[in-house]
Amino acid sequence: MEQAKKRILTGDRPTGKLHIGHYVGSLQNRVKLQDDYETFILIADIQALTTHFERPQLIHDSIFEVAIDNLSVGLDPNKVTWVQQSHVPAIHELTQIFSLLVTVNALRHNPTVKTEAAQYGYDDMTYGFLGYPVSQSADITFCNADMVPVGEDQLPHMELTRKLVRRFNEMYAPVLKEPQHKLSSCSRLMGLDGNAKMGKSLGNAIYLADSPEEVVRKVKSAVTDTSRIKASDPGHPEVCVVNKYHQTFTPGEYENICEMCRKGAIGCVACKKILAESLNNLLDPCREKRAYYEAHRDEVRDIIKTGTEKACRIGEETVEKVREAMFLKV
């Protein structure tokens, strides 16, 4: 008898198109894992509202963009289940239950919440923003995920989820699965401007949807070694953004590029040209798939709808066990 595949859950906030930072941090890993795991991808529209509640149209439009970005990099709709978060009642019920098991102080001291609050300029956090890690815990547990691929910045959320699951199971009954995490080998990509993080809100990203010309233009704008005046001047690759990208996207030539830079044997213009070619070679197959799904948006809608219906059935099974454990069934 064939053993059932373990289940993973990952997801994206639909607040705009995804960029190459998302690709190296998560998407390429999803493609590798889809054959070995039952994969659920959550389109976290409710979580997106915690920071973009004044822009619901952006979130609506981005649901399709995020789905197409995932499909374009090679995720197979026959192997992957797409889930629209707002349409799964079990997530909202579990969020309410988990909120009873965590203190406000614990959420206020969550490192990721503190970092994101500073990023968005939130001196006084809304209830929804402060509590979104609780909702994330419900996202993970509604489908009994075995594993969650994450970047380092999401580890505090994973630890909270495990604590909530353990507390629930000890207090009521052992009905929820305690998930494990899988850390990405490249969890963060620096922005083109030298910012420590590439971000949609920072304007320093190369998007998966960018044309070849846009990629070339953006790479040309990337920050390099400001101490180099002439192409023949010895460079310092360790301070260069483009060099960091070569390490990820041109690994076979990385050491040689570093050596030539230090010797002044390659200028920044030529170095950027090599990077732009590498990025476009990576994105060209994605552009073909993107063109197909852009022309077949009804198919994308059906993929999301079918996956969400499946998620609702699984979620209802989970909350039935939760209700029974808490004596909430009549």
Name the amino acid, one letter, at 211: S
Name the packing angle between helices 132-141 and 155-171 (round to 10°). 70
Cβ neighbours, 10 Å, residue 251: 10
Domain boundaries, the chain: 7-189+297-325, 210-288
CATH no. of 7-189+297-325: 3.40.50.620
Measured CA to CA, the distance from residue 201 to residue 219 in angstroms comes to: 18
Asked whether 94 and 322 are in contact (CB, 8 A), the reply is: yes
Main-chain phi, psi angles of 54, to 5 degrees: -90, 0
Question: Tens digit of pLDDT per residue, the chain (330 long)?
Answer: 457 899 999 999 999 999 999 999 889 999 999 999 999 999 999 999 999 999 999 999 999 999 999 999 999 999 999 999 999 999 999 999 999 999 999 999 988 898 888 888 888 899 999 999 999 999 999 999 999 988 777 888 999 999 999 999 999 999 999 999 988 766 578 899 888 778 777 789 999 999 999 999 999 999 898 888 888 888 898 899 999 999 999 999 999 999 999 999 999 999 999 999 999 999 999 999 999 999 999 999 999 999 999 999 999 999 999 999 999 988
The reported pLDDT for the residue numbered 187 is 57
**130: nearest Cα among 151, 152, 154, 105:** 105
For 125-274, strand residue ranges (E) read: 147-150, 180-183
Handedness of CA 59, 182, 137, 201 (dihedral sign): negative
Tell me which CATH homologous superfamily contains domain 210-288: Tyrosyl-Transfer RNA Synthetase (1.10.240.10)
pLDDT the model gives residue 2 = 57
Instruction: Specify whether the CB–CB gap between 201 and 58 falls below 8 A.
Output: no
Supply the angle between the helices 45-52 and 56-72 in degrees, to the nearest 10: 130
